[in-house]
């Protein structure tokens, strides 16, 4: 947790690990007597997702805004007890965040599937089908809270 001029209200950045099962089915053999072989791979991805406000009324930031927080410069420290309290509020609000995190995982799964299909199409492979299933819930690996720097005579 840090105070920074990069935000004008409490903003939380989450480092999220996304896991997927990529299932490939390959059909081979003469027509009418095809044999299907299935292979399953586990793929992992990570994303930074950020929101302003509380978990219960999160205003999600764009990918670009979220990634920009990674370059935020700290301007002031925060007392340890305030850090603990703020982090506990975020942890208590994780269930309210899960629908968005799961939606992000499903969206990324669709992107991965489309990428695999483009490769298969470019390679002109026939008899190959794929499915990408997100393994939910996503894992939150890191929680980073950015607070605005208080203005003179005011509070942030």
pLDDT tens-place string over residues 20-29: 999 988 877 7
Model pLDDT for residues 49-73, shown as the tens digit of each residue: 999 999 999 999 999 999 999 999 9
Residue 42 in any domain: the answer is yes
Cβ(128)–Cβ(24) under 8 Å? Answer: yes
**pTM for this model (two decimals):** 0.84
Average pLDDT of span 84-95: 95
Residue 154 in any domain: the answer is no
Residue 118 in any domain: the answer is yes
Residue 133 in any domain: the answer is yes
Residue 20 in any domain: the answer is yes
Residue 86 in any domain: the answer is yes
Q: Tell the burial category of 155 from Cβ atoms under 10 Å away from its Cβ (0-12, 13-18, 19+).
A: exposed
- The phi, psi pair for 12, rounded to 5°, reads -120, 130
Rounded-to-integer distance, Cα 24 and Cα 121, Å: 14
């Amino acid at each position: 947790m840090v105070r920074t001029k990069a935000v004008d209200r409490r903003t939380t950045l989450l480092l999220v690990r996304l896991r997927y099962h990529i299932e490939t089915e390959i059909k081979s053999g003469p027509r009418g007597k095809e044999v299907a072989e299935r292979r399953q791979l586990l793929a992992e991805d990570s994303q930074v997702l950020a929101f302003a406000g509380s978990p219960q009324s999160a205003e999600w930031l764009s990918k670009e805004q979220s990634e920009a927080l990674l370059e935020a410069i700290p301007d002031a420290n925060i007392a340890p007890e305030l850090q603990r309290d703020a982090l506990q509020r975020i942890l208590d609000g994780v269930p309210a965040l899960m629908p968005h995190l799961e939606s992000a995982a499903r969206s990324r799964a669709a992107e991965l599937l489309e990428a695999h299909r483009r490769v298969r199409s470019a390679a002109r492979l026939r008899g190959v089908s794929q499915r990408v299933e997100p393994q939910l819930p996503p894992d939150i690996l890191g929680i980073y809270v950015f607070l605005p720097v208080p203005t003179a005579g005011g509070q942030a």
